[in-house]
């Protein structure tokens, strides 16, 4: 039987798809390990591209998820009582102040659906989390982006000055991805002094656990503004990227309206159980943070010794300038040949930068060996005199 083909995709797209969807670019994740294995047949691969926890999840989380497998023929608790109770106790909040999603990006999507639409204006920074750009544009909102400062930080004063009567949302990733920098308590206070009541501030604190040890880091839970929603995730420090659990804190009125557009039964059963187990295992989190702090400093020192100038990071990744898009592609490709996956930042409009996630000690040693091997050829082609 002859298979029928669909019609001209360009015609269908023009007819059915809004222009602001057609113009979107698909989010590109870090290169998967299996893909590199298939392409190059390598057996030693270190993925340093997606800011995951290289130590893996808590054994408590694995136990809870394993036990839950016997119940996957049942729908999960739509209200996620156990997980919300754990978060309520941890952060001294009512369950009514908590929303959950398929990663923090899932909650961003609900925020965009509930509060934005064609003609809405969103204010944020250049060179920040591209997932938010995509979600805002997917509902037809206009993005107004302020440049980073010379030291690759959010320019809070410029953002405050850019607020207007059409601004609906201000998005702040704190710490910022992909630079690893952060706004301070003083800067956050300055910003909020200029934010009117009609503007919702999203504080994306995906890397909160890594940043919270810094005295001048503004933990948003210390403020409890009515027009601020805090987003956090268990994908990073808690090592649960694969099951996608994010949570948000806000005034109960905001949460109630988000829940109106939220998919039911999210997070799924396994994710809810794993998240509860992970949040109970404080020693695993502390071990993660201690290991990351040590290896982050070692990586920073290695890059400095190799004549790079890494952006000062308080997260689990470091970003360096290569000098050009071609140099970034060359370094990325050569490291792939050695089995090391890093992240080029072209999608973040930082084509002359690459980002390196912090892995295990063995993975970081692999990175150091690979970099040392490829840098002579890199220097011969591009040099680093202006980096």
pLDDT (tens digit per residue) in 76-132: 999 999 999 999 999 999 999 999 999 999 999 999 999 998 989 999 999 999 999
Q: Tell me the pairing of strands 167-173 and 200-204.
A: parallel
By mean pLDDT, which of 1-10, 83-92, 319-328 is the weakest? 1-10
Q: Which of 209, 204, 270, 271 is nearest to 237 (CA)?
A: 209
Reported confidence tier of residue 233, pLDDT bands at 50, 70, 90: very high
Q: Same domain, yes or no, for 220 and 319?
A: no
Say which CATH number the domain at 330 has.
3.90.1150.10
Among 281, 313, 331, where does a domain finish? 281
Q: Mean pLDDT over residues 326-344, rounded? A: 96
**Helices 59-68/269-280 angle, 10° precision:** 150
Contacts of 20 (CB under 8 A, 6+ apart): 118, 137, 138, 139, 140
Q: Does residue 1 belong to any structural domain of this protein? A: no
CATH number, domain with residue 238: 3.40.640.10
Residue 132 sits in the same domain as residue 257: yes
Instruction: Say which residues have a Cβ less than 8 Å from residue 42's Cβ, sequence separation at least 6.
Output: 36, 339
pLDDT of 24 reads 65
Domain-embedded: residue 10: no
Domain end point (choices 244, 266, 281): 281
Q: Does residue 212 belong to any structural domain of this protein? A: yes
Residue 228 has pLDDT above 90, yes or no: yes
Same domain assignment for residues 109 and 42: no
Q: What is the pLDDT of residues 26-73, one digit of tens each?
A: 666 676 777 877 877 788 899 999 999 999 999 999 999 999 999 999
pLDDT at 7 over 90: no
Asked whether residue 173 falls in the same domain as residue 258, the answer is yes
* Cα R_g (the chain), whole angstroms: 22
- Helix pair angle (130-137, 103-115), 10° resolution: 30
Q: How many domains does the chain have?
A: 2
Distance between CA atoms of 135 and 20, rounded to whole angstroms? 11
| Exposure string for 101-115, b = 16+ CB within 10 A, e = fewer | bbbbbbbbbbbbbbb
Query: Does residue 385 contact residue 309 with C-beta atoms inside 8 Å?
Result: no
Looking at the domain assignment, is residue 183 inside a domain?
yes
Those residues whose C-beta lies under 8 Å from the C-beta of residue 15, and which sit 6 or more positions away, are none
* Mean of the per-residue pLDDT values of the chain: 93
Q: In terms of domains, do 346 and 272 share one?
A: no
Element (H, E) at 16: helix 9-16
Domain that holds residue 90: 59-281
Q: Is residue 177 part of a domain?
A: yes
**Residues 256, 297 within the same domain:** no
DSSP assignment of 211-273 equals HTTSTT---GGGT--TTEEEEEESSSTT--GGG--EEEE--HHHHHHHHHHSPTT-S-HHHHH
State whether 69 and 202 are in the same domain.
Answer: yes
Check the CA dihedral 148-222-275-288 and report its sign.
Answer: positive
Does residue 298 share a domain with residue 268?
no
Domain assignment present for residue 169? The answer is: yes
Query: DSSP character for 150?
Result: T
**8 A C-beta contact, residue 96 and residue 255:** yes
Answer with the one of 281, 313, 328 that is the final residue of a domain.
281
Q: Is residue 266 part of a domain?
A: yes
> In terms of domains, do 239 and 374 share one?
no
Query: pLDDT tens digits for 126-162?
Result: 999 999 999 999 999 999 999 999 999 999 999 999 9
Backbone CA torsion sign across 310, 27, 250, 283: negative
**SS3 of 25, please?**
coil
Residue 9 resides in a domain: no
Q: Are residues 259 and 299 in the same domain?
A: no
With b for 16 or more beta-carbon neighbours within 10 A and e for fewer, the 116-138 pattern comes to: beeebbbbbbebbbbbbbbbbbb
The answer to whether 272 and 81 are in contact (CB under 8 A) is no
187 and 207 within one domain: yes
Looking at the fold, whether 29 and 63 belong to one and the same domain comes out as: no
């Amino acid at each position: 039987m002859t298979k029928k083909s669909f019609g001209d995709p360009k015609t269908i797209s023009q007819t059915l798809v809004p222009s602001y969807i057609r113009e979107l670019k698909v989010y590109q994740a870090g290169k998967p390990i299996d893909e590199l294995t298939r392409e190059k047949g390598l057996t030693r691969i270190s993925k340093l591209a997606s800011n995951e926890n290289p130590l893996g999840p808590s054994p408590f989380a694995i136990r809870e998820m394993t036990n839950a497998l016997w119940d996957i023929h049942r729908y999960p608790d739509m209200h996620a009582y156990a997980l919300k109770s754990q978060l309520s106790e941890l952060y001294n909040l009512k369950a009514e102040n908590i929303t959950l999603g398929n990663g923090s990006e899932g909650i961003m999507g609900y925020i965009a659906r509930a509060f934005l639409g064609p003609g809405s204006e969103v204010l944020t920074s250049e060179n920040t989390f591209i997932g938010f750009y995509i979600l805002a544009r997917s509902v037809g909102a206009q993005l107004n982006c302020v440049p980073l400062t010379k030291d690759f930080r959010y320019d809070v004063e410029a953002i405050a000055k850019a607020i207007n009567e059409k601004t609906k949302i201000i998005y702040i990733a704190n710490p910022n991805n992909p630079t690893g920098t952060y706004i301070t308590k003083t800067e956050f206070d300055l910003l909020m002094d200029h934010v009117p009541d009609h503007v919702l501030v999203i504080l994306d604190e995906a890397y909160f656990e890594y940043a919270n040890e810094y005295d001048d880091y503004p933990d948003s839970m210390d403020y409890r503004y009515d027009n601020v929603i805090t987003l956090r995730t268990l994908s990073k420090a808690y090592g649960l990227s694969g099951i996608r659990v994010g949570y948000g804190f806000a005034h109960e009125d905001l949460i109630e309206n988000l829940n109106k557009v939220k998919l039911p039964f999210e997070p799924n059963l396994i994710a809810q159980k794993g998240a509860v187990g992970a949040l109970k295992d404080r020693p695993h989190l502390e071990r993660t943070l201690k290991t990351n702090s040590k290896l982050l400093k070692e990586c920073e020192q290695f890059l400095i010794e190799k004549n790079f100038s890494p952006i000062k990071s308080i997260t689990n990744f470091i970003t360096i300038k290569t000098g050009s898009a071609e140099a970034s592609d060359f370094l990325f490709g050569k490291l792939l040949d050695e089995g090391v996956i890093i992240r080029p930042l072209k999608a973040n409009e930082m084509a002359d930068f690459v980002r390196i996630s912090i892995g295990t000690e063995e993975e970081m040693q692999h990175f150091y060996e690979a970099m040392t091997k490829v840098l002579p050829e890199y220097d011969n082609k591009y040099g680093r005199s202006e980096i």
